[in-house]
Amino acid sequence: MSIWRRLGDIIHRIPGSCVLIDHVVEAVRSTFGTSAERRHAAFSISMIALSAKMAKADGVVTGDEVNAFKQLFEIPDGEKRNVARLFNLAKQDVAGFEAYARKISGLFAEGAEIFEDIVDGLFHIAKADGMVHEAELEFIARVARVFGLTEPAFARISSRHVVPEEGDPYLILGIDRAATNEDVKRHYRRIVAETHPDKLMARGVPAEFIAIATAKLAALNGAYDRIRQERAFA
């Protein structure tokens, strides 16, 4: 049975009056046997629930944002109704989004990388209508803090999404301006390797996340090119 089929079964059985995130977290832990399956399921649940909470914080869900969400997942036709149900339940649940983020963080044994992936996904959806609104930016920043991401880490991530072609290229790459040319080259090669789709999938993100990986690589490449031109090295 596919991950989406099992997720669909979990969502279908959710009582309308339950504390949604408690129910879903426990169901993911008990339903998925392998760590890879749990990571994939946990990531998918995270993105659906937190996207719903972000839509509530912003006050409106646009068609562009719905399409951006669909870019992240290849949901079988038979499970789309269940995913929509989870999205709507998360919007209506009295539990705040910070409670969601804390519960979700407990599903991952890994370090900060998977949390950065989730934050990247939220930015991808938030900016789909042409800009990241102030309420959305504050929402994502607070989720990042719950996940334990530092202020510099969040600044680095947000700089890739909020007008990256005008942002500080050193901030986008996450490297000190005083770094040598060789240090810049080594750092760039390392973070590009970490953004490879195979690395992302090993962390549990779905194959469709290539859309975000491609955008992230474009921002990193653009920042590196600007530094290279500024310093005039090959």
Q: What is the pLDDT of residues 133-156, one digit of tens each?
A: 888 999 999 999 999 999 999 999
> How much is the pLDDT for 109?
64
Phi/psi class of residue 163: alpha, beta or left (left: φ > 0; alpha: ψ in -120 to 50)?
Answer: left
Give the global pTM. Answer: 0.81
pLDDT in tens, 157-193: 999 888 767 789 999 999 999 999 999 999 999 998 8
Does the pLDDT value for residue 195 go beyond 90? no
Which residue pairs, CB below 8 angstroms and at least 24 apart, start in 20-29?
Answer: 20/49, 20/86, 20/89, 20/90, 20/93, 20/95, 21/49, 21/90, 21/93, 21/95, 21/99, 21/100, 21/103, 21/104, 22/103, 24/49, 24/86, 25/103, 25/104, 25/106, 25/107, 28/107, 29/107
| Average of per-residue pLDDT across 89-100 | 76
Name the token pair of 173: 């790459």
Residue 61 has pLDDT above 80, yes or no: no
Local structure of residue 34 (DSSP, 8 states): S
The Cβ of residue 152 has, within 10 Å, a number of other Cβ atoms equal to 10
What's the pLDDT at 96? 77
| Helix, strand, coil tally for the chain in percent (to 5) | 75, 0, 25
Domains of the chain: which residue ranges? 3-231
